[in-house]
Amino acid sequence: MAIIEKTASFKELTALSDSEETNTSRLQVRQYRDLDLFFTKRSRDKDVNTLSNVTAVKRSVRNLILTNFYEKPFHPEIGCGIRGLLFENANPMTSIAIAQAAEDVLNSFEPRVKLFSVEVKPDLDRNAYNMSVKFQVLNAQAELVELNTLLEVLR
């Protein structure tokens, strides 16, 4: 009876393999990075903090919604115009117009999100609106991200 010895490679012993070799997905996992526009400093090197992935996309969605037309230099088409609608009386028709404006700007200028819904509910006592935006970040984990913000006129 002959004893056959098989020498195993390091990958077989540790059960580790490169994910690029075994991954058959066509999707690329992409890292999204943006500067923190509050310009907070990192403690280790005193440089400007960066935001990554979901946090960066949430900040971008919020910034797009709150941007007026003609506010970005050389790009007058980027904007939502919600601030002008905030001076209207708080009613359901104005909330529909705000939701439509937010959907339009996100579908046009934010390619990193798949938008599911924009809900705007008027707060009649304060002449304000509660906005809830639900979306999914593309090329990231399949989680539903919700951004809630209060839109009100600052006097």
Give the mean pLDDT of 132-142.
84
Stretch among 32-46, 58-72, 115-129 having the lowest mean pLDDT: 32-46
Residue 3 has what pLDDT? 45
- Per-residue pLDDT tens for 101-127? 999 999 999 998 999 999 999 988 888
State the DSSP string of 27-77. PPP---EEE-TT-PBPTTT-PBPEEETHHHHHHHHHHHHTPPTT-STT-TT
Of 31, 49, 32, nearest to 40 (Cα)? 49
Nearest C-alpha neighbor of 100 from the set 92, 89, 88: 92
Global pTM reads: 0.71
pLDDT at 15 over 50: no
- Model pLDDT for residues 17-37, shown as the tens digit of each residue: 333 344 445 555 666 677 676
Mean per-residue pLDDT of the chain? 78
- Domain 30-151 sits in CATH at 3.10.450.40
> Nearest CA to 91 among 55, 63, 122, 136?
122
User: Of the given ranges (29-38, 91-100, 144-153), which has the lowest mean pLDDT?
Assistant: 29-38
- Whether the per-residue pLDDT at 55 is higher than 50: the answer is yes
The structural domains of the chain, with segments of one domain joined by +, span 30-151
